[in-house]
Structure 1
Amino acid sequence: MTTLPTPDILRPASYVYGTWHAGADGQTLVDAVYGRPVAVISSEGVDFGEALRYGREVGGPAIRRLTFHARARALKALASYLLERKEDYYTLNLLTGATRRDGWVDIEGGIGTLFSYASMARRDLPDERFLPEGQVERLGKGGTFVGRHLLVPREGVAVQINAYNFPVWGMLEKLAQAFVGGMPSFVKPAPQTAYLTERVVRDIIASGLLPEGALQLVTGEPGDLLDHLEEQDLVAFTGSAATAAKLKVHPTIVARNVPFNTEADSLNASVLGLTVQPGDPEFALYVKEVAREITSKAGQKCTAIRRAIVPRDRVEEVVEALRRELGKVTLGDPARDDVRMGALVSTGQRERVQGTLDALKAETSVVIGGEERELLGGDREKGAFLDPTVLLCESPLTARGPHELEAFGPVATLLPYDTLEDAARLARMGRGSLVGSIVTFDRTEATELVLGLSSTHGRLLVLNRENAGESTGHGSPLPQLKHGGPGRAGSGEELAGLSGVRHHMNKVAVQADPTTLTAVTREYVPGAQVREDVVHPFRKTFEELQVGDSLLTPRRTVTEADVMAFAGLSGDRFYAHTDEIGARESLFGRRVAHGYFVLSAAAGLFVDPGVGPVLANYGLENLRFTEPVGFGDTIRARLTVQSKTAKDPRPSEPATGVVKWRVDVTNQNEVLVATYSILTLVAREVGETHA
Structure 2
Amino acid sequence: MKLQSYVSGQWQEGTGSGVTVNDAVTGKPVCEVGSEGVDFAAMVRHGRDVGGPALRAMTFHERAAALKAMAKHLMERKEDFYTLSARTGATRADGWVDIEGGIGTVFTYASLVSREMPNDVIMVEGDVERLSKGGSFLGRHVLTSKPGVSVHINAFNFPCWGMLEKIAPSLAAGVPVIVKPATPTAFLTEAMVREMIAGGFFPEGAIQLICGSTGDLLEHLLEQDVVTFTGSATTGRKLRTHPNLVTNSVPFTMEADSLNCAILGASVAADDPEFELFIKEVAREMTAKAGQKCTAIRRVIVPAALLEAVANALQARLEKTTVGDPGAEGVRMGPLVGRDQALDVRASVERLASECEVIYGGQETFPLTGADNSSGAFFPPTLLRCDDPHGKTLAHEVEAFGPVSTLMPYRDIDDAIAIARLGKGSLVGSLFTYDDTEARNIILGTAPWHGRMLIINRDCAAESTGHGSPLAPLVHGGPGRAGGGEELGGLRAVKHYMQRTALQGSPTTLMAITSEYHAGARTYSDEMHPFKKYFEDLQVGESLLTHRRTVTEADIVNFGCLSGDHFYAHFDEIAAKDSFFGKRVAHGYFVISAAAGMFVHPAPGPVIANYGLENLRFIEPVAPGDTIRARLTVKKKIKKARRGEEKANGVVVWAIEVTNQADEPVAIYDILTLVERRED
The aligned residue for residue 301 of structure 1 is 293
The aligned residue for residue 141 of structure 1 is 133
Residue type of the alignment partner of 2:2: R
* 1:655 is aligned to 2:639: no
Deviation at 1:281, TM superposition (A): 1.5
**Which residue, out of 399, 411, 424, partners 1:406?**
399
The aligned residue for residue 487 of structure 2 is 494
Aligned partners of 1:661 and 1:420: how far apart in 2? Answer: 53
Aligned partners of 1:444 and 1:536: how far apart in 2? Answer: 58
* 1:457 is aligned to 2:450: yes
SS of structure 2 residue aligned to 1:295: helix
The aligned residue for residue 89 of structure 2 is 97
Deviation at 1:186, TM superposition (A): 0.4
Maintained 8 Å contact 1:262/1:492: yes
Aligned partners of 1:381 and 1:401: how far apart in 2? Answer: 30
SS of structure 2 residue aligned to 1:493: strand
**Which residue, out of 321, 328, 343, partners 1:336?**
328
**Which residue, out of 661, 664, 668, partners 2:661?**
668
Query: TM (normalized to structure 2)?
Result: 0.98
**Which residue, out of 127, 131, 143, partners 2:123?**
131
The aligned residue for residue 18 of structure 1 is 9
Aligned partners of 2:159 and 2:645: how far apart in 1? Answer: 40
The aligned residue for residue 5 of structure 1 is none
* 1:69 is aligned to 2:61: yes
SS of structure 2 residue aligned to 1:469: helix
5 Å-filtered alignment, 1:421-440, equals 421-440=414-433
5 Å-filtered alignment, 1:256-655, equals 256-371=248-363, 372-655=365-648
The aligned residue for residue 179 of structure 1 is 171
The aligned residue for residue 40 of structure 1 is 32
Aligned partners of 2:342 and 2:590: how far apart in 1? Answer: 71
Aligned partners of 1:418 and 1:546: how far apart in 2? Answer: 67
Gaps of 5+ in 2: none
Count of aligned pairs? 678
Deviation at 1:379, TM superposition (A): 3.8
Aligned partners of 1:505 and 1:683: how far apart in 2? Answer: 32
Maintained 8 Å contact 2:24/2:338: yes
Aligned partners of 1:380 and 1:221: how far apart in 2? Answer: 31
Aligned partners of 2:197 and 2:430: how far apart in 1? Answer: 39
Instruction: List, as ranges, runs of 4+ consecutive aligned residues in structure 1 with deviation greater than 4 Å.
Output: none
Q: Deviations over 1:468-516 (max 9, x none)?
A: 1211110000011000011111110000001000000011111111111
Maintained 8 Å contact 1:356/1:407: yes
Deviation at 1:381, TM superposition (A): 3.0
Quote the sequence identity (%).
58
Aligned partners of 2:434 and 2:563: how far apart in 1? Answer: 41
**Which residue, out of 191, 205, 230, partners 2:222?**
230
Deviates more, 1:316-325 or 1:116-125: 316-325
Q: Deviations over 1:271-298 (max 9, x none)?
A: 1111212222211111010000000011
Aligned partners of 2:282 and 2:565: how far apart in 1? Answer: 54
The aligned residue for residue 3 of structure 1 is none
Deviation at 1:337, TM superposition (A): 2.0
SS of structure 2 residue aligned to 1:596: helix
Q: Deviations over 1:440-494 (max 9, x none)?
A: 1222222222212211111111111221121111000001100001111111000
Maintained 8 Å contact 2:472/2:488: yes
Aligned partners of 1:362 and 1:567: how far apart in 2? Answer: 78
Deviation at 1:370, TM superposition (A): 3.3
SS of structure 1 residue aligned to 2:462: coil
* 1:682 is aligned to 2:675: yes
* 1:30 is aligned to 2:22: yes
Q: Deviations over 1:385-407 (max 9, x none)?
A: 11001111111123211111111
Aligned partners of 2:447 and 2:84: how far apart in 1? Answer: 39
SS of structure 2 residue aligned to 1:390: strand
Maintained 8 Å contact 2:349/2:362: no
Aligned partners of 1:129 and 1:376: how far apart in 2? Answer: 54
The aligned residue for residue 100 of structure 2 is 108
SS of structure 2 residue aligned to 1:294: helix
Deviation at 1:377, TM superposition (A): 2.3
Maintained 8 Å contact 2:124/2:140: yes
Residue type of the alignment partner of 2:348: T
SS of structure 2 residue aligned to 1:516: helix
Residue type of the alignment partner of 2:86: L
Maintained 8 Å contact 2:366/2:373: no
Aligned partners of 1:614 and 1:398: how far apart in 2? Answer: 71
